[in-house]
């Protein structure tokens, strides 16, 4: 029926889609997918990370600047969700990693497999995608609930 994709393959999986396959609109805009459905050999790519990030970001003040840490497929989904939620977005990547120490009174969203908790000032709202964290578990539950719905056609029993 379908399968999930995890890092580092969320962008590369799109190169495996055939001419008869399709991507939902946000996958094309994001350039990454984490869910593929198989309907009698026809594949459709989805991005449920963007769904979870949108729900999660709606809880925060979009007048604050949002720093997205990372530049992989998950960061692309979060950037798409942040723009949908009308945040001003700044990226933190390997090139400007040291800027993490200077961020204040903002929202910081870690989209990397690296634990940066100790690098983030306490004045920030911190969203950590690592599943061993409280926010990471909730993000994983939200995106998995959307995958469940896509796979089964039923609402996830939250």
Cα–Cα distance measured from residue 148 to residue 114, given in angstroms and rounded to the nearest whole number? 27
- Catalytic residue (choose from 10, 64, 65, 146): 10
Q: How many helices and strands, by DSSP H and E, does the chain display?
A: 4, 8
- Yes or no: say if 68 and 89 are a contact pair by the CB < 8 Å rule: yes
C-alpha 106 chain-centroid distance: 18
The Cα–Cα gap between 44 and 55 comes to: 23
Residue 122 designated active-site: no
Spatial contact of 67 and 106, defined as CB atoms under 8 Å apart = yes
Q: Does residue 8 have a cis bond before it (omega within 30 degrees)? A: yes
Residues annotated as catalytic are 10
């Amino acid at each position: 029926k379908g399968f999930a994709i995890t890092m580092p393959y969320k962008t590369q999986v799109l190169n495996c889609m055939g001419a008869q396959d399709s991507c939902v609109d946000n996958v094309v805009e994001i350039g990454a997918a984490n869910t593929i459905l198989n309907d009698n050999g026809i594949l459709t790519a989805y991005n449920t990370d963007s769904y979870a990030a949108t729900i999660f970001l709606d809880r925060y003040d979009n007048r604050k600047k949002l720093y997205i840490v990372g530049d992989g497929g998950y960061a692309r989904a979060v950037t798409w969700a942040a723009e949908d939620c009308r945040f001003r977005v700044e990226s933190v990547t390997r090139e400007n990693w040291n800027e993490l120490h200077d961020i204040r009174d903002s929202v910081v969203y870690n989209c990397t497999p690296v634990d940066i908790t100790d690098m983030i000032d306490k004045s920030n709202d911190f969203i950590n995608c690592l599943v061993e964290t409280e926010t990471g578990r909730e993000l994983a539950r939200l995106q998995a609930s959307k995958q469940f719905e896509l796979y089964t056609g039923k609402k996830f029993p939250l």
